[in-house]
Amino acid sequence: MFHSLPLYIGLRYLRAKRRNHFISFISGISMVGLTLGVMVLIIVLSVMNGFDREMRTRILGMVPHATISLPGEFKNSETIRQIALQHPMVLGASGYIESQGMVIANDRTRGALLSGIEPSTVGTVSILPDHMIAGSIAALDDQSFGVIIGASLARVLGVSLGDKLTLIVPEMSVTIASIQPRFKRFTLVGIFKVGAELDSSLVITHIDDLAKLMLYGDAIDGLQLRTTDLFQARQIAFDIGRELPDVYFVSDWTRTQGNLFQAIQLEKRLVGLLLFMIVAVAVFNIVSSLVMLVTDKQGEIAVLRTLGATSRQILGVFMVQGTAIGLIGIAMGVLLGVIGALTVADIIAWFETAFDVQFLNSDVYFINYIPSELDWHDVLIISSATFIISVLSTIYPAWKASKISPAEVLRYES
């Protein structure tokens, strides 16, 4: 009879209509609080995972994982490229030239990052060829002094394929009359869109054309590398640098994008910690509701004790009830959180369209939409941690119930 007593009575208390409706209200609030806490945690961490994914696939897909450089003096590029490709963790290598500059079209001027690439090898280090919305990378080989720009920059300048743009580099040309900035007319042969800040700032041309504009001759700035492990890119670049016959500069993506990546990771941890306070409040409500329930049920506890129930069984009754509240809240929270994480991008997109608002501006942030990526590992950690805390929160009220003296309670029962 008493073997399943804690489970039977604990679940009965959970679903029964109590005389004290305030206790029922507090228990309901506890359950709703756990549901909201778990749901919000899953959704928010999924959004943070989405930002992390976009950071890796879009921004870090466009920028090299590592570089080996010697600006303006890198002349034996093919030899060094073959040495780099021999490293087992290097997926691709491509030559490049970079410079800050300006682009002018239709009387509109914008600052830009000028990048000279090798069209035949750039696909091994960049996702650029996969994100062309007009023209192609191969057009840089077909058109002398051709240029590719991002969709946002093309819209700002008001240009389309075949239009002329003027690129200006900071180096000066000395003439008899004066010192003038160096510039050249280019033809727009392609437009890319990666949905990031680079769409409005990156200008790409053939490495030979930019070398002519920069007066590099047959030299380039260096090699871009793509590695198998993003987080070992620096060490891989150092290993390759030590194998080279001369001294070269080596760098990796953390020099330019590391702060942004670290900020996303830090925000994920801090936001997760702050939102977990919602769960803590809900768990505290479980303690409050159980303490009031124990006080309300002192007479019934005394009767059970006189019928032969042990202190351990009384302890189990209230632990079962508190645990059941936690399990129901967690289950509902996980269900709603998973649904929300899978649909939050569509919901936000609909909201932006319906109410003509924009949550993220690509001119300010590196993307212009809300990304989301559900990580089942996060779901497991959230649900497990919440369940453990919920179980621990039942120990004190259940212990107090197990210590109730039947004689003292029944003495004052009418």
- Report strand pairing: 202-206 vs 179-192: unpaired
Mean pLDDT of 131-149: 87
71 pLDDT above the threshold of 90:
no
Q: For CA atoms 251, 253, 259, 262, give the dihedral sign.
A: negative
Please tell me the distance from the alpha carbon of residue 348 to that of residue 372, in angstroms, as a whole number. Answer: 11
Amino acid 408: pLDDT: 66
> Vertex 237, ends 235 and 239: CA angle to 5°?
70
Confidence of residue 9 (pLDDT cuts 50, 70, 90): low
Listed range (82-86, 210-214, 237-241, 310-314) with the worst mean pLDDT: 310-314
Report the b/e string of 326-345 with b at 16+ CB within 10 A.
bbebbebbbebbbebbeebb
69 pLDDT above the threshold of 80:
yes
409 pLDDT above the threshold of 70:
no
Mean pLDDT of 80-100: 90
What are the tens digits of pLDDT across the range 173-223? 555 545 566 888 999 999 998 877 788 889 999 999 988 888 888 888 889
Residue 229: count other Cβ atoms within 10 Å of its Cβ.
10
Mean pLDDT of 375-402: 86
On average, the pLDDT of the chain sits at 81
What are the tens digits of pLDDT across the range 265-297? 787 788 878 877 877 877 787 787 778 777 777
Amino acid 317: pLDDT: 78
Structure tokens, 32: 């709703």
64 pLDDT above the threshold of 50:
yes
